[in-house]
Amino acid sequence: MKRRYTALCALCFCLLLFAHAPANERINRFLGLTKKTAFTLVHKIECQFNTYHPQGLLKIGDHFIISSVQVLEPVQFYAQPDEQGYDRSTGRGLGHLFKVDAKGRLIKELELAEGDQYHPSGIDFDGRHIWVSLAEYRPNSRSTLFKVDMDFNQAEKMFTVQDHIGTLAYNRDSEQVYGFSWGSRRIYCWTTTGIELYRYSNPSHFLDYQDAKYLGRDLVLAGGLNKWLINGSGDPRTVDIGGLALFRPSDGKIIHEIPLNLRAPDGGTVTRNSMDIADENQSLQFYFAPEDNQTTIYVYRPAL
């Protein structure tokens, strides 16, 4: 009996190692990237429909999932903050999830709206469902988190949050949800039923995270940017500085961080909106969808 128990434990341990092997390889490959790493554009996919303002991107099998906001009535800024402290109105709009094939054709669409909440977040995948937050289009506001089945049949409401959650990541090992506020200045962790486990101020000020993905080993990869004035406060012109950050949400520690000087045709950084990462042919592959309305998904491969 003892031998059987020992053999069973060894088998379970081997299966656990095998399950984590792809995640470990992906993480280790990312750790090998530096600011000098050359990235090659290997493919472009032009979306053949109006994508509005993309927020999140997932590559699942041969399809892409894009979260996006359609603004029907822009927010109006107030001369003074209102009695609740808001500096702008909610505006009006619709959230969208798009399922797109490898040629950029729209396969299926799901509209998302919850009262004044219509701004979808960056998105992540738990193996069966897409997780997305729907927020008011203003900082320090309110959000509702949903999970959506892959056939887009149902958006199941999970819980609400008293903050604007601009992106999220799903920890498939602990079954916890990480959330990031407007500009990713606050980081949250919840159970799948909305019990808050912790929150803290983001210790990193290099990037405002726009889209994030759980990679394994309690680590999250996020893409984002910051805008910098070109010639000081008297010059209104700015330049986007993009980058990627691998960090541990449980304590906010940055494990590895790189600037990324890849530009879309309009000159903006490719990490200003949505991104995903995958393993292809024993190499990393990055997917970026930076443009509004007529979006192209840019596929880059780093030299390792």
pLDDT digits (tens, 9 = 90+) for 219-247: 999 999 998 887 766 667 788 899 999 99
Widest pairwise Cα distance in the chain? 78
Average the pLDDT over each of 64-78, 233-247, 267-281 and give the range with the smallest value: 233-247
pLDDT of residue 68: 99
pLDDT of residue 9: 44
pLDDT of residue 12: 42
Q: Can you give the pTM of this predicted structure?
A: 0.91
pLDDT of residue 14: 38
Beta-carbon count within 10 A of 213 CB: 24
Average pLDDT, the chain: 92
Q: Look at the domain 24-302 and name its fold.
A: Tachylectin-2; Chain A (2.115.10)
Assess whether pLDDT exceeds 90 at residue 1: no
- How far is the C-alpha of 190 from the C-alpha of 91, rounded, in Å? 28
**Percent of the chain residues topping a pLDDT of 70:** 91
Beta-carbon count within 10 A of 18 CB: 9
State the burial class of residue 96 (Cβ atoms within 10 Å of its Cβ: 0-12, 13-18, 19+): buried
pLDDT of residue 22: 66
Q: Angle at CA 103, nearest 5°, toward 101 and 108? A: 30
Ordered by start, the domain boundaries in the chain are 24-302
Tokens linked to 99: 């399922």
Assess whether pLDDT exceeds 50 at residue 215: yes
pLDDT band at 76 (very low <50, low <70, confident <90, very high): very high
Stretch 89-104: mean pLDDT, rounded?
98
